[in-house]
Chain A
Amino acid sequence: MYRRYLTALQRWTLGLDVWINRVYPSDLNPLYYTGGLTNLFLFVLVLSGIFIFFYYVPSLNGAHASVAYLTEQVPYGGLIRGIHRYSADAFIIAALLHLFRNWFTDRYLFARDSPWISGMFLLLFGGFVGVTGYILVWDERALVVFSELVRLMRSIPLVGERFAWVLQAGPGISDETMPRMLLLHVGPASALYVLLWWHYVRLRHPKVWPPATWVLTSLGIVTLLAAVVPAVSGTPAQPGVQPTTMWLDVFYLLPFWLAGYVPPFLIVAGIGLLFVAGFAIPYVNREDPHAMGIRHAGVAQVVDGNCTGCELCYYDCPYNAIVMVPSPYPGATRAAANRKLLAVVIDSRCVECGICIGACPFEALELPAFMESDLQRRVAEAVRA
């Protein structure tokens, strides 16, 4: 059932590409660079965030005023604030597109689970950073979001009270609260880069930046948006006073909007379930590849005696599944007799693509299910007929 849906979604995803590729040359298809776009927006967020940091005052009385000063008095301050706001939206949109695309195109299965799991952590941290970002403005909306967040935390059994304490830096809103919010904004945001190291560690040459055209287009759109629709604050937050009117951001604040209708514990449980399901995606329905209709090529094997230690396979493996080790003994062939290194495939990282076979000029690698001799035989049959 799940498989059937996924197959349909894959068909739509790739069908959409056929259309996009009619408009753009295929190596400019933006959907091929969702990871790079996410990273680009994160980079813009860091730069604009550092700028804002120079003006931000983390105190109950100072926060709102400092943001207002930044917006109105500092040259280009309003623009940079807008860029920060809209890149945050773009970051989440791009990250979700990236998630769905990798999901629908089977890029999370078997040996590929490491970027998926780190990706779920990135999403979790990224989402949290967004929420604390809204609170830092400390206007009416921030207060609502903050109180709801505390309420959600409190609804968690056993540890909830403690979480609420950590969030407020005390039993209730106090002078310590805003510095704590700033910490909870900047800290997890920095942690994103640690997680990104994990995200990339199994990928050789990750495409961290989209093509230049898309870098410029994305920057242009965000800047234009920030100039045309400036980011604004609501009225300053006054604890104890009911907000008058308020606008909720759909991406970040949906759960808070729901909070008006659903008991808080259900919301926390819902979010928790969503992430548990996300983490489980690479492992549910994990039948053996045959049953899933995937042709099983088998993990690449090094033909020990032939390997010359030339490292070509090591440079080409897209998943960093090959390591070069000091050769324990000389190779069998003439070319391999004086080798210094020997290639070793790490089974758990190998996605069975065979790219290393194409890279090796010395016939020292093979895919068990696609032996060179079979291939040669089929070629011979083809040209003979």
Chain B
Amino acid sequence: MSAAAAGAPRVVGFVCDWAVATAGLTDEAGRLHAHPSVVLIRVPCSGFIRPSWLEDALRAGADGVFVVGCPYGDCLNREGNYLMQERIEQLQRRLQRRKVEPERLTMLAHGLHDREAFLADVAGLLDALGRLRPPAPAAARPAAPARASAEEGGS
């Protein structure tokens, strides 16, 4: 694994059971064949994700996290994806104050048959993460690194 994944940003994605079908896209552990540094975890609904889990994943060393729900308006549970979108926006704002770039948290919406669009989004996400500064080691993170101020200016 390490050779392919070494340079690529490590990403954890939570995918709603009703959203994009990923059978055949991943190995048993949920690792995407196309991007081995991305691991998918299937959950019953995008709204099931507690924002603190996303925060924990970043703290544990993930370079980015994303959640995939159904297209907006088509959540099987009516509101899961809208609620999750809001929660992620709030978390992005909160973490930004601690110098964590919003790009590290993403909400995606792809229906059962949106495979190609989903894979394209993941590729785009990896690109964006690759352009960010490498994450500080988990322990050092709270002490804001030097480049953070420049990024703040941009946002």
Judge: A and B partners, yes or no. Answer: yes
> Is A26 a contact of B56 with CB atoms below 8 Å?
no
Binds A, one of B47-55, B98-106, B147-155: B47-55
In the bound complex, residues from chain B placing their C-beta under 8 Å from that of A32 are: 71, 73-74
In this assembly, does A316 line the interface, its C-beta being within 8 Å of a C-beta of chain B?
Answer: yes
Q: Which of A11, A360, A363, A382 contacts B41 (CB 8 A)?
A: A382
Interface residues on chain B, number (Cβ under 8 Å): 43
In this assembly, does A70 line the interface, its C-beta being within 8 Å of a C-beta of chain B?
Answer: no
Beta-carbon contacts under 8 Å, B1-33 to A = 1-2, 5, 10, 12, 17, 29-31
> Is A385 a contact of B51 with CB atoms below 8 Å?
no
Chain B min CB distance to A381 (Å): 7
In this assembly, does B39 line the interface, its C-beta being within 8 Å of a C-beta of chain A?
Answer: yes
In this assembly, does A352 line the interface, its C-beta being within 8 Å of a C-beta of chain B?
Answer: yes
> Is B113 a contact of A33 with CB atoms below 8 Å?
no
Beta-carbon contacts under 8 Å, A1-21 to B = 11, 14-15, 17-18, 21
Chain A min CB distance to B21 (Å): 10
> Is A17 a contact of B53 with CB atoms below 8 Å?
no
> Is B10 a contact of A106 with CB atoms below 8 Å?
no
Q: Which of B10, B49, B56 contacts A376 (CB 8 A)?
A: B56
Assembled-state Cα–Cα distance A105/B76 (Å): 8
In the bound complex, residues from chain A placing their C-beta under 8 Å from that of B114 are: 18
> Is A360 a contact of B50 with CB atoms below 8 Å?
yes
Assembled-state Cα–Cα distance A247/B62 (Å): 68
Q: Which of B47, B72, B76 contacts A27 (CB 8 A)?
A: B72
Q: Which of A107, A358, A363, A383 contacts B76 (CB 8 A)?
A: A107
Given contacts A381-B29, A382-B41, contact A354 B5 (CB under 8 A): no
In the bound complex, residues from chain A placing their C-beta under 8 Å from that of B12 are: 379, 382-383
Assembled-state Cα–Cα distance A284/B113 (Å): 27
Assembled-state Cα–Cα distance A28/B74 (Å): 11
> Is A26 a contact of B74 with CB atoms below 8 Å?
yes
> Is B60 a contact of A380 with CB atoms below 8 Å?
yes
Chain B min CB distance to A146 (Å): 42
In this assembly, does B127 line the interface, its C-beta being within 8 Å of a C-beta of chain A?
Answer: no
Assembled-state Cα–Cα distance A316/B79 (Å): 8
Q: Which of A354, A361, A382 contacts B43 (CB 8 A)?
A: A354
> Is B74 a contact of A354 with CB atoms below 8 Å?
no
> Is B84 a contact of A15 with CB atoms below 8 Å?
no
Binds B, one of A37-45, A79-87, A263-271, A367-375: A367-375
Assembled-state Cα–Cα distance A15/B115 (Å): 12
In this assembly, does B107 line the interface, its C-beta being within 8 Å of a C-beta of chain A?
Answer: no
Beta-carbon contacts under 8 Å, B72-116 to A = 72-74, 76-80, 83-84, 87, 109, 111-114
Smallest Cβ-Cβ distance to B37: which chain A residue: A385
In this assembly, does B145 line the interface, its C-beta being within 8 Å of a C-beta of chain A?
Answer: no
User: Digit string of A337-378 for contact with B (CB within 8 Å is 1, else 0)?
Assistant: 000000000000001111101111101000100101001101
Chain A min CB distance to B40 (Å): 9
> Is A357 a contact of B48 with CB atoms below 8 Å?
yes
Assembled-state Cα–Cα distance A337/B99 (Å): 34
Smallest Cβ-Cβ distance to A106: which chain B residue: B76
Smallest Cβ-Cβ distance to B13: which chain A residue: A382
Assembled-state Cα–Cα distance A29/B114 (Å): 15
In this assembly, does B57 line the interface, its C-beta being within 8 Å of a C-beta of chain A?
Answer: yes
In this assembly, does A297 line the interface, its C-beta being within 8 Å of a C-beta of chain B?
Answer: yes
In the bound complex, residues from chain B placing their C-beta under 8 Å from that of A353 are: 44-45, 47-48, 76-77, 80
> Is A382 a contact of B48 with CB atoms below 8 Å?
no
Assembled-state Cα–Cα distance A376/B52 (Å): 11
Chain B min CB distance to A351 (Å): 6
Assembled-state Cα–Cα distance A110/B87 (Å): 28
> Is A355 a contact of B80 with CB atoms below 8 Å?
yes
Residue among B56, B78, B83 facing the most chain A CB atoms (10 A cut-off) = B78
In this assembly, does B61 line the interface, its C-beta being within 8 Å of a C-beta of chain A?
Answer: yes
Chain B min CB distance to A30 (Å): 10
In the bound complex, residues from chain B placing their C-beta under 8 Å from that of A385 are: 1-2, 5, 31, 39
Query: Which 7 residue pairs spanning A and B have beta carbons closest together?
Result: A354-B48, A32-B73, A382-B39, A355-B47, A26-B71, A353-B77, A318-B78
A sample of 4 more A-B contacts (CB under 8 A), given A17-B74, A379-B62, A384-B61, is: A21-B71, A33-B73, A355-B48, A379-B12
Listed in ascending order, the chain B residues whose CB lies under 8 Å from chain A are 1-2, 5, 10, 12, 17, 29-31, 39, 41, 43-45, 47-53, 56-57, 60-62, 71-74, 76-80, 83-84, 87, 109, 111-114
